[in-house]
Structure 1
Protein backbone atom coordinates (compact mmCIF):
# COMPACT_ATOMS: atom_id res chain seq x y z
CA UNK A 1 0.00 0.00 0.00
CA UNK A 2 1.27 3.45 -0.86
CA UNK A 3 2.10 5.63 2.08
CA UNK A 4 -0.17 8.59 2.75
CA UNK A 5 1.63 11.94 2.81
CA UNK A 6 0.05 14.90 4.51
CA UNK A 7 -0.32 17.99 2.35
CA UNK A 8 1.05 20.02 5.24
CA UNK A 9 4.32 18.09 5.60
CA UNK A 10 7.47 19.81 4.33
CA UNK A 11 9.27 18.49 1.28
CA UNK A 12 12.93 17.44 1.03
CA UNK A 13 13.98 21.08 1.14
CA UNK A 14 11.99 21.69 4.29
CA UNK A 15 9.38 23.83 2.51
CA UNK A 16 5.63 23.44 2.71
CA UNK A 17 3.80 22.81 -0.56
CA UNK A 18 1.56 25.67 -1.78
CA UNK A 19 -2.13 25.41 -0.96
CA UNK A 20 -5.09 27.41 -2.20
CA UNK A 21 -7.29 26.99 0.88
CA UNK A 22 -4.71 27.82 3.58
CA UNK A 23 -2.32 30.74 3.76
CA UNK A 24 -0.19 32.54 6.29
CA UNK A 25 -1.30 35.96 7.40
CA UNK A 26 1.96 37.42 6.14
CA UNK A 27 1.71 35.90 2.67
CA UNK A 28 -0.48 36.58 -0.35
CA UNK A 29 -2.80 33.69 -1.15
CA UNK A 30 -3.71 32.37 -4.59
CA UNK A 31 -6.88 31.35 -6.39
CA UNK A 32 -7.53 28.02 -8.04
CA UNK A 33 -9.41 29.78 -10.82
CA UNK A 34 -7.96 31.97 -13.60
CA UNK A 35 -7.60 35.71 -13.12
CA UNK A 36 -7.96 38.63 -15.51
CA UNK A 37 -5.34 41.41 -15.16
CA UNK A 38 -6.90 44.66 -14.01
CA UNK A 39 -4.84 46.66 -16.49
CA UNK A 40 -3.39 48.70 -13.61
CA UNK A 41 0.03 47.39 -12.54
CA UNK A 42 -0.07 48.87 -9.03
CA UNK A 43 -3.46 47.28 -8.34
CA UNK A 44 -2.42 43.91 -9.77
CA UNK A 45 0.46 43.82 -7.30
CA UNK A 46 -1.98 44.09 -4.39
CA UNK A 47 -4.36 41.33 -5.56
CA UNK A 48 -3.85 37.58 -5.22
CA UNK A 49 -2.62 36.08 -8.51
CA UNK A 50 -2.34 39.61 -9.88
CA UNK A 51 -5.82 40.36 -11.18
CA UNK A 52 -9.60 39.98 -11.00
CA UNK A 53 -10.45 36.36 -10.11
CA UNK A 54 -13.06 34.38 -12.02
CA UNK A 55 -15.69 32.26 -10.25
CA UNK A 56 -15.92 34.38 -7.11
CA UNK A 57 -17.99 37.28 -5.83
CA UNK A 58 -16.02 40.54 -6.10
CA UNK A 59 -17.47 43.49 -4.22
CA UNK A 60 -16.87 47.07 -5.31
CA UNK A 61 -18.05 49.42 -2.57
CA UNK A 62 -18.73 52.85 -4.06
CA UNK A 63 -18.87 56.24 -2.40
CA UNK A 64 -21.11 57.26 -5.29
CA UNK A 65 -21.93 56.20 -8.85
CA UNK A 66 -19.75 57.53 -11.65
CA UNK A 67 -16.58 58.16 -9.64
CA UNK A 68 -14.42 56.19 -12.09
CA UNK A 69 -15.47 52.61 -11.38
CA UNK A 70 -16.23 51.85 -15.03
CA UNK A 71 -12.90 53.23 -16.22
CA UNK A 72 -11.25 51.12 -13.54
CA UNK A 73 -12.88 48.03 -15.03
CA UNK A 74 -12.38 49.08 -18.64
CA UNK A 75 -9.24 46.99 -19.41
CA UNK A 76 -10.81 43.81 -18.04
CA UNK A 77 -14.16 44.43 -19.73
CA UNK A 78 -12.48 45.10 -23.05
CA UNK A 79 -10.53 41.84 -22.83
CA UNK A 80 -13.54 39.80 -21.73
CA UNK A 81 -15.92 41.37 -24.24
CA UNK A 82 -13.86 40.29 -27.23
CA UNK A 83 -15.08 36.71 -26.91
CA UNK A 84 -18.18 36.70 -24.71
CA UNK A 85 -21.03 38.98 -23.71
CA UNK A 86 -21.07 41.35 -20.75
CA UNK A 87 -24.19 41.44 -18.59
CA UNK A 88 -25.33 44.61 -16.79
CA UNK A 89 -28.06 44.08 -14.18
CA UNK A 90 -29.77 47.07 -12.57
CA UNK A 91 -27.29 49.71 -13.84
CA UNK A 92 -28.08 53.09 -12.26
CA UNK A 93 -27.97 54.85 -15.64
CA UNK A 94 -28.71 53.94 -19.22
CA UNK A 95 -25.48 52.57 -20.75
CA UNK A 96 -23.93 54.89 -23.34
CA UNK A 97 -23.59 52.59 -26.35
CA UNK A 98 -21.29 54.98 -28.18
CA UNK A 99 -18.84 54.91 -25.29
CA UNK A 100 -18.87 51.12 -25.13
CA UNK A 101 -18.30 50.96 -28.87
CA UNK A 102 -15.34 53.32 -28.52
CA UNK A 103 -13.92 50.83 -26.03
CA UNK A 104 -14.15 48.11 -28.66
CA UNK A 105 -17.30 46.55 -27.19
CA UNK A 106 -20.11 46.33 -29.78
CA UNK A 107 -23.67 46.85 -28.61
CA UNK A 108 -24.57 43.23 -29.42
CA UNK A 109 -22.05 42.11 -26.79
CA UNK A 110 -23.94 43.93 -24.02
CA UNK A 111 -26.86 42.40 -22.13
CA UNK A 112 -28.83 44.89 -20.02
CA UNK A 113 -31.38 43.60 -17.52
CA UNK A 114 -33.74 45.79 -15.48
CA UNK A 115 -36.10 44.30 -12.92
CA UNK A 116 -38.88 45.87 -10.87
CA UNK A 117 -38.13 43.84 -7.75
CA UNK A 118 -34.84 43.09 -6.01
CA UNK A 119 -35.77 39.40 -5.92
CA UNK A 120 -36.12 39.35 -9.71
CA UNK A 121 -32.75 41.06 -10.14
CA UNK A 122 -31.12 38.52 -7.83
CA UNK A 123 -32.70 35.66 -9.77
CA UNK A 124 -31.45 37.17 -13.04
CA UNK A 125 -27.90 37.43 -11.69
CA UNK A 126 -27.95 33.78 -10.64
CA UNK A 127 -29.23 32.72 -14.06
CA UNK A 128 -26.51 34.67 -15.87
CA UNK A 129 -23.86 33.00 -13.72
CA UNK A 130 -25.29 29.52 -14.23
CA UNK A 131 -25.86 30.03 -17.94
CA UNK A 132 -22.18 30.56 -18.62
CA UNK A 133 -22.70 32.62 -21.78
CA UNK A 134 -21.29 35.86 -20.32
CA UNK A 135 -17.67 36.55 -19.62
CA UNK A 136 -18.46 39.28 -17.10
CA UNK A 137 -21.40 40.30 -14.92
CA UNK A 138 -21.86 43.68 -13.27
CA UNK A 139 -24.68 43.74 -10.73
CA UNK A 140 -25.74 46.96 -8.98
CA UNK A 141 -27.60 46.64 -5.67
CA UNK A 142 -28.35 49.11 -2.91
CA UNK A 143 -29.24 46.69 -0.13
CA UNK A 144 -28.20 43.04 -0.13
CA UNK A 145 -28.98 40.56 2.62
CA UNK A 146 -26.32 38.16 3.88
CA UNK A 147 -28.33 35.21 2.54
CA UNK A 148 -28.38 36.78 -0.93
CA UNK A 149 -24.62 37.35 -0.83
CA UNK A 150 -24.07 33.67 -0.04
CA UNK A 151 -26.33 32.64 -2.92
CA UNK A 152 -24.49 34.89 -5.33
CA UNK A 153 -21.10 33.62 -4.19
CA UNK A 154 -22.19 30.00 -4.59
CA UNK A 155 -23.55 30.71 -8.07
CA UNK A 156 -20.30 32.45 -9.00
CA UNK A 157 -18.22 29.48 -7.85
CA UNK A 158 -20.07 27.24 -10.30
CA UNK A 159 -19.29 29.55 -13.23
CA UNK A 160 -16.27 30.91 -15.09
CA UNK A 161 -17.61 34.46 -15.10
CA UNK A 162 -15.87 37.51 -13.64
CA UNK A 163 -18.55 38.83 -11.31
CA UNK A 164 -18.57 42.31 -9.78
CA UNK A 165 -21.24 43.37 -7.28
CA UNK A 166 -21.40 47.15 -7.00
CA UNK A 167 -23.00 48.45 -3.81
CA UNK A 168 -22.80 51.49 -1.51
CA UNK A 169 -19.69 52.11 0.57
CA UNK A 170 -21.65 51.69 3.81
CA UNK A 171 -21.77 47.95 3.07
CA UNK A 172 -18.08 47.69 3.94
CA UNK A 173 -19.01 47.33 7.62
CA UNK A 174 -21.14 44.24 6.93
CA UNK A 175 -19.82 40.69 6.84
CA UNK A 176 -19.60 39.11 3.40
CA UNK A 177 -18.50 35.77 1.91
CA UNK A 178 -16.73 37.67 -0.87
CA UNK A 179 -12.97 36.96 -0.83
CA UNK A 180 -12.21 40.30 -2.49
CA UNK A 181 -13.78 43.59 -1.42
CA UNK A 182 -12.57 46.99 -2.59
CA UNK A 183 -13.76 50.40 -1.38
CA UNK A 184 -13.60 53.06 -4.11
CA UNK A 185 -13.31 56.80 -3.50
CA UNK A 186 -13.09 59.62 -6.08
CA UNK A 187 -9.71 61.27 -6.59
CA UNK A 188 -8.33 63.94 -8.88
CA UNK A 189 -7.18 62.26 -12.07
CA UNK A 190 -8.10 58.79 -10.90
CA UNK A 191 -9.63 56.78 -8.11
CA UNK A 192 -8.53 55.77 -4.60
CA UNK A 193 -8.83 52.05 -3.87
CA UNK A 194 -8.90 50.68 -0.33
CA UNK A 195 -8.67 46.91 -0.02
CA UNK A 196 -11.25 45.99 2.59
CA UNK A 197 -10.71 42.26 2.23
CA UNK A 198 -8.42 39.97 0.27
CA UNK A 199 -6.87 36.54 0.62
CA UNK A 200 -3.62 37.75 2.06
CA UNK A 201 -2.14 40.20 4.55
CA UNK A 202 -4.12 43.20 5.65
CA UNK A 203 -3.64 46.11 3.27
CA UNK A 204 -2.76 49.42 4.88
CA UNK A 205 -3.87 52.77 3.48
CA UNK A 206 -5.26 53.44 0.02
CA UNK A 207 -3.93 52.90 -3.48
CA UNK A 208 -4.18 55.67 -6.07
CA UNK A 209 -5.05 54.38 -9.55
CA UNK A 210 -4.44 56.91 -12.31
CA UNK A 211 -7.25 57.03 -14.87
CA UNK A 212 -6.25 60.11 -16.83
CA UNK A 213 -5.17 57.98 -19.78
CA UNK A 214 -8.50 56.14 -19.81
CA UNK A 215 -11.23 58.63 -20.73
CA UNK A 216 -14.70 57.14 -20.73
CA UNK A 217 -15.51 58.28 -24.24
CA UNK A 218 -13.43 59.38 -27.23
CA UNK A 219 -16.03 61.20 -29.36
CA UNK A 220 -13.58 62.17 -32.11
CA UNK A 221 -10.44 60.61 -33.63
CA UNK A 222 -7.19 62.22 -32.44
CA UNK A 223 -6.63 63.84 -35.86
CA UNK A 224 -10.13 65.32 -36.15
CA UNK A 225 -10.85 68.90 -35.09
CA UNK A 226 -13.03 69.11 -32.03
CA UNK A 227 -16.20 71.13 -32.70
CA UNK A 228 -17.18 73.98 -30.45
CA UNK A 229 -20.66 72.68 -29.71
CA UNK A 230 -21.63 69.90 -27.30
CA UNK A 231 -23.46 66.67 -27.95
CA UNK A 232 -26.43 65.59 -25.87
CA UNK A 233 -27.80 62.07 -25.58
CA UNK A 234 -31.24 61.70 -27.06
CA UNK A 235 -33.76 60.47 -24.52
CA UNK A 236 -35.48 57.20 -25.28
CA UNK A 237 -39.22 57.44 -26.04
CA UNK A 238 -41.52 56.67 -23.13
CA UNK A 239 -42.95 53.65 -24.93
CA UNK A 240 -39.50 52.14 -25.40
CA UNK A 241 -38.56 52.73 -21.78
CA UNK A 242 -41.72 51.00 -20.59
CA UNK A 243 -40.69 47.74 -22.23
CA UNK A 244 -37.76 47.50 -19.80
CA UNK A 245 -39.92 47.45 -16.68
CA UNK A 246 -39.87 43.69 -16.24
CA UNK A 247 -36.86 41.44 -16.00
CA UNK A 248 -35.73 39.91 -19.26
CA UNK A 249 -32.91 37.58 -20.22
CA UNK A 250 -32.08 37.29 -23.89
Structure 2
Protein backbone atom coordinates (compact mmCIF):
# COMPACT_ATOMS: atom_id res chain seq x y z
CA UNK A 1 0.00 0.00 0.00
CA UNK A 2 1.41 3.39 -1.04
CA UNK A 3 1.84 5.86 1.81
CA UNK A 4 0.85 9.41 1.00
CA UNK A 5 3.11 12.24 2.12
CA UNK A 6 2.02 15.83 2.52
CA UNK A 7 4.02 18.50 0.75
CA UNK A 8 6.54 20.22 3.02
CA UNK A 9 4.54 23.46 3.18
CA UNK A 10 1.35 21.63 4.20
CA UNK A 11 3.23 19.61 6.82
CA UNK A 12 4.69 22.82 8.21
CA UNK A 13 1.23 24.42 8.31
CA UNK A 14 -0.21 21.39 10.12
CA UNK A 15 2.50 21.55 12.79
CA UNK A 16 1.99 25.29 13.14
CA UNK A 17 -1.74 24.84 13.75
CA UNK A 18 -1.13 22.00 16.22
CA UNK A 19 1.29 24.20 18.20
CA UNK A 20 -1.05 27.19 18.10
CA UNK A 21 -4.15 25.21 19.10
CA UNK A 22 -2.93 22.42 21.41
CA UNK A 23 -6.51 21.44 22.25
CA UNK A 24 -7.07 20.26 18.67
CA UNK A 25 -5.70 16.96 17.40
CA UNK A 26 -6.15 14.65 14.45
CA UNK A 27 -8.53 11.69 14.70
CA UNK A 28 -5.60 9.28 14.51
CA UNK A 29 -3.80 10.94 17.44
CA UNK A 30 -4.11 10.88 21.19
CA UNK A 31 -5.19 14.21 22.61
CA UNK A 32 -2.31 16.48 23.54
CA UNK A 33 -2.68 19.80 25.30
CA UNK A 34 -1.45 21.65 28.37
CA UNK A 35 -3.70 19.77 30.82
CA UNK A 36 -1.94 18.49 33.94
CA UNK A 37 -1.45 14.76 34.41
CA UNK A 38 0.28 12.48 36.87
CA UNK A 39 2.41 9.45 36.00
CA UNK A 40 0.37 6.24 36.35
CA UNK A 41 3.44 4.28 37.40
CA UNK A 42 2.95 1.98 34.39
CA UNK A 43 5.00 2.79 31.31
CA UNK A 44 2.73 0.86 28.94
CA UNK A 45 -0.40 2.56 30.29
CA UNK A 46 1.12 6.04 30.06
CA UNK A 47 1.72 5.44 26.37
CA UNK A 48 -2.01 4.87 25.84
CA UNK A 49 -3.24 7.94 27.72
CA UNK A 50 -3.48 11.55 26.51
CA UNK A 51 -0.60 13.61 27.91
CA UNK A 52 0.96 10.36 29.19
CA UNK A 53 -0.77 10.03 32.56
CA UNK A 54 -3.91 10.20 34.69
CA UNK A 55 -5.58 13.59 34.06
CA UNK A 56 -5.93 15.89 37.06
CA UNK A 57 -9.13 17.84 37.61
CA UNK A 58 -11.19 15.46 35.48
CA UNK A 59 -13.61 12.60 36.06
CA UNK A 60 -12.03 9.19 35.43
CA UNK A 61 -14.07 6.00 35.64
CA UNK A 62 -12.72 2.59 36.57
CA UNK A 63 -15.17 -0.21 35.75
CA UNK A 64 -14.62 -3.52 37.50
CA UNK A 65 -16.67 -6.69 38.00
CA UNK A 66 -16.04 -6.94 41.76
CA UNK A 67 -15.06 -4.01 43.94
CA UNK A 68 -11.85 -4.35 45.91
CA UNK A 69 -10.08 -6.85 43.65
CA UNK A 70 -7.66 -4.73 41.62
CA UNK A 71 -8.48 -1.02 41.50
CA UNK A 72 -6.12 0.12 44.24
CA UNK A 73 -3.29 -2.01 42.93
CA UNK A 74 -3.73 -0.11 39.67
CA UNK A 75 -3.89 3.32 41.31
CA UNK A 76 -1.39 3.01 44.16
CA UNK A 77 1.72 4.07 42.15
CA UNK A 78 0.00 7.36 41.24
CA UNK A 79 -1.33 7.93 44.77
CA UNK A 80 2.25 7.76 46.05
CA UNK A 81 3.18 10.63 43.72
CA UNK A 82 0.85 13.21 45.28
CA UNK A 83 3.49 14.85 47.51
CA UNK A 84 1.80 13.58 50.70
CA UNK A 85 -1.50 15.30 49.93
CA UNK A 86 -4.36 13.29 51.51
CA UNK A 87 -6.15 10.59 49.55
CA UNK A 88 -9.89 10.39 50.25
CA UNK A 89 -11.45 6.92 50.07
CA UNK A 90 -15.21 7.45 49.91
CA UNK A 91 -17.50 4.44 50.49
CA UNK A 92 -14.82 1.79 49.80
CA UNK A 93 -16.04 -1.83 49.74
CA UNK A 94 -13.78 -2.89 52.63
CA UNK A 95 -11.90 -1.35 55.55
CA UNK A 96 -8.61 -0.01 54.17
CA UNK A 97 -5.48 -1.83 55.28
CA UNK A 98 -3.57 1.20 56.55
CA UNK A 99 -0.15 -0.46 56.69
CA UNK A 100 -0.21 -0.91 52.91
CA UNK A 101 -0.17 2.86 52.52
CA UNK A 102 2.73 3.38 54.93
CA UNK A 103 5.33 0.88 53.73
CA UNK A 104 7.81 3.52 52.61
CA UNK A 105 8.05 6.67 54.71
CA UNK A 106 9.19 8.68 51.70
CA UNK A 107 6.04 7.68 49.79
CA UNK A 108 3.57 7.26 52.66
CA UNK A 109 -0.01 8.06 51.73
CA UNK A 110 -2.22 10.04 54.12
CA UNK A 111 -5.71 8.57 54.14
CA UNK A 112 -9.10 10.15 54.66
CA UNK A 113 -11.49 7.22 55.01
CA UNK A 114 -15.20 8.09 54.75
CA UNK A 115 -17.57 5.17 55.11
CA UNK A 116 -21.14 6.46 55.36
CA UNK A 117 -24.28 4.47 54.72
CA UNK A 118 -26.49 6.78 52.64
CA UNK A 119 -26.02 7.39 48.93
CA UNK A 120 -26.83 11.07 49.41
CA UNK A 121 -24.12 11.38 52.06
CA UNK A 122 -21.56 9.91 49.68
CA UNK A 123 -22.43 12.42 46.97
CA UNK A 124 -22.45 15.36 49.40
CA UNK A 125 -19.04 14.33 50.73
CA UNK A 126 -17.63 14.01 47.22
CA UNK A 127 -18.85 17.51 46.34
CA UNK A 128 -17.30 19.02 49.47
CA UNK A 129 -13.94 17.33 48.87
CA UNK A 130 -13.83 18.56 45.28
CA UNK A 131 -14.89 22.07 46.24
CA UNK A 132 -12.30 22.26 49.00
CA UNK A 133 -9.50 20.97 46.80
CA UNK A 134 -7.25 19.99 49.70
CA UNK A 135 -7.11 16.28 48.83
CA UNK A 136 -4.66 15.06 46.24
CA UNK A 137 -7.04 12.32 45.14
CA UNK A 138 -10.65 11.26 45.63
CA UNK A 139 -11.75 7.67 45.04
CA UNK A 140 -15.51 7.16 45.09
CA UNK A 141 -17.10 3.70 44.90
CA UNK A 142 -20.67 3.68 43.60
CA UNK A 143 -22.83 0.82 42.35
CA UNK A 144 -25.45 3.20 40.99
CA UNK A 145 -25.06 6.86 40.15
CA UNK A 146 -27.00 9.09 37.75
CA UNK A 147 -25.39 10.67 34.72
CA UNK A 148 -26.42 14.17 35.83
CA UNK A 149 -24.70 13.59 39.18
CA UNK A 150 -21.54 12.49 37.42
CA UNK A 151 -21.72 15.60 35.27
CA UNK A 152 -21.98 17.82 38.34
CA UNK A 153 -19.02 16.10 40.01
CA UNK A 154 -17.02 16.40 36.80
CA UNK A 155 -17.65 20.14 36.66
CA UNK A 156 -16.52 20.50 40.28
CA UNK A 157 -13.41 18.43 39.60
CA UNK A 158 -12.48 20.74 36.72
CA UNK A 159 -12.12 23.59 39.20
CA UNK A 160 -9.49 21.66 41.13
CA UNK A 161 -6.29 19.69 40.60
CA UNK A 162 -7.71 16.61 42.30
CA UNK A 163 -7.07 13.16 40.90
CA UNK A 164 -10.68 11.98 40.77
CA UNK A 165 -11.83 8.41 40.19
CA UNK A 166 -15.30 6.92 40.35
CA UNK A 167 -15.21 3.12 40.61
CA UNK A 168 -18.33 1.51 39.13
CA UNK A 169 -19.57 -1.98 38.20
CA UNK A 170 -18.59 -3.35 34.80
CA UNK A 171 -22.18 -3.16 33.50
CA UNK A 172 -22.02 0.64 33.77
CA UNK A 173 -20.13 0.55 30.47
CA UNK A 174 -23.54 0.51 28.77
CA UNK A 175 -24.51 3.84 30.36
CA UNK A 176 -23.43 7.28 29.09
CA UNK A 177 -20.86 9.18 31.13
CA UNK A 178 -19.17 12.60 31.02
CA UNK A 179 -15.85 11.02 32.10
CA UNK A 180 -12.90 11.97 29.90
CA UNK A 181 -11.40 8.53 30.51
CA UNK A 182 -13.16 5.19 31.10
CA UNK A 183 -11.23 2.02 31.79
CA UNK A 184 -12.45 -1.53 32.25
CA UNK A 185 -10.19 -3.33 34.72
CA UNK A 186 -9.91 -7.11 35.04
CA UNK A 187 -7.57 -8.80 37.55
CA UNK A 188 -5.44 -11.57 36.09
CA UNK A 189 -3.17 -14.25 37.53
CA UNK A 190 -0.03 -12.10 37.39
CA UNK A 191 -1.35 -8.59 36.96
CA UNK A 192 -4.24 -6.70 35.39
CA UNK A 193 -5.91 -6.35 32.01
CA UNK A 194 -6.93 -2.86 30.91
CA UNK A 195 -9.49 -2.08 28.23
CA UNK A 196 -9.71 1.60 27.39
CA UNK A 197 -13.38 2.24 26.67
CA UNK A 198 -13.13 5.99 26.24
CA UNK A 199 -10.30 8.47 25.95
CA UNK A 200 -9.64 11.78 24.26
CA UNK A 201 -8.28 10.92 20.86
CA UNK A 202 -8.01 7.79 18.76
CA UNK A 203 -9.86 4.75 20.05
CA UNK A 204 -8.04 1.57 21.04
CA UNK A 205 -9.92 -1.70 21.31
CA UNK A 206 -6.87 -3.87 22.01
CA UNK A 207 -6.53 -4.97 25.66
CA UNK A 208 -3.46 -3.89 27.60
CA UNK A 209 -1.87 -6.24 30.12
CA UNK A 210 -0.04 -4.74 33.08
CA UNK A 211 2.32 -7.14 34.78
CA UNK A 212 2.78 -6.50 38.51
CA UNK A 213 6.02 -7.87 39.84
CA UNK A 214 4.66 -8.63 43.31
CA UNK A 215 1.00 -9.42 42.77
CA UNK A 216 -0.67 -9.89 46.18
CA UNK A 217 -2.56 -13.03 45.18
CA UNK A 218 0.47 -15.01 44.02
CA UNK A 219 2.74 -17.08 46.23
CA UNK A 220 6.53 -16.98 45.81
CA UNK A 221 6.30 -20.46 44.27
CA UNK A 222 4.34 -18.96 41.37
CA UNK A 223 5.89 -15.52 41.12
CA UNK A 224 9.55 -16.54 40.84
CA UNK A 225 9.18 -18.28 37.44
CA UNK A 226 7.24 -15.23 36.21
CA UNK A 227 10.04 -12.90 37.28
CA UNK A 228 12.48 -14.94 35.23
CA UNK A 229 10.30 -14.93 32.12
CA UNK A 230 9.03 -11.33 32.06
CA UNK A 231 11.20 -8.30 31.18
CA UNK A 232 12.01 -5.86 33.95
CA UNK A 233 10.09 -2.84 32.74
CA UNK A 234 8.41 -2.41 29.32
CA UNK A 235 5.04 -4.09 29.93
CA UNK A 236 4.35 -3.35 33.55
CA UNK A 237 5.44 -1.05 36.31
CA UNK A 238 8.11 1.57 35.87
CA UNK A 239 11.29 0.51 37.62
CA UNK A 240 10.77 2.63 40.75
CA UNK A 241 7.33 1.10 41.26
CA UNK A 242 8.34 -2.53 40.88
CA UNK A 243 8.44 -4.50 44.15
CA UNK A 244 5.81 -2.18 45.72
CA UNK A 245 2.55 -3.99 45.00
CA UNK A 246 0.66 -5.27 48.04
CA UNK A 247 -2.79 -6.14 49.27
CA UNK A 248 -4.61 -2.88 49.89
CA UNK A 249 -7.91 -3.91 51.47
Q: TM-score, normalised by structure 1?
A: 0.77
The residue matched to 2:81 in structure 1 has which SS? helix
Instruction: List runs of 5+ in structure 2 lacking aligned partners.
Output: 1-8, 218-249
Map Cα deviations across residues 98-140 of structure 1 (whole Å, 9 max, x no partner).
Answer: 1111154657x21011222111111111110110111111110
Output the aligned Cα RMSD.
Answer: 2.0
What are the equivalent positions in structure 2 for 1:214-229 lying under 5 Å apart? Answer: 215=216
Aligned residue number for residue 201 of structure 2: 200
CA drift of 1:17 comes to 2.7
The residue matched to 2:129 in structure 1 has which SS? helix
The residue matched to 2:88 in structure 1 has which SS? strand
Aligned residue number for residue 14 of structure 1: 13
What are the equivalent positions in structure 2 for 1:1-250 lying under 5 Å apart? Answer: 13-15=12-14, 16-18=17-19, 19-80=21-82, 82-102=83-103, 104=105, 106=108, 109-213=110-214, 215=216
Q: After alignment, is 196-205 or 109-118 more displaced?
A: 109-118
Counterpart Cα distance in 1 of 2:154 and 2:10: 34
The residue matched to 2:18 in structure 1 has which SS? coil
Q: TM-score, normalised by structure 2?
A: 0.77
How many residues are matched?
Answer: 205
Counterpart Cα distance in 1 of 2:112 and 2:11: 52
The residue matched to 2:25 in structure 1 has which SS? coil
CA drift of 1:214 comes to 5.6
Structure possessing the higher radius of gyration over alpha carbons: 1
Relative to structure 1, is the Cα distance of residues 11 and 133 closer, same or farther in structure 2, using a 3 angstrom cutoff? farther
CA contact (8 A) 1:194 1:206 kept: yes
Map Cα deviations across residues 54-89 of structure 1 (whole Å, 9 max, x no partner).
Answer: 000000001112332211111101111x33111010
Counterpart Cα distance in 2 of 1:131 and 1:119: 18
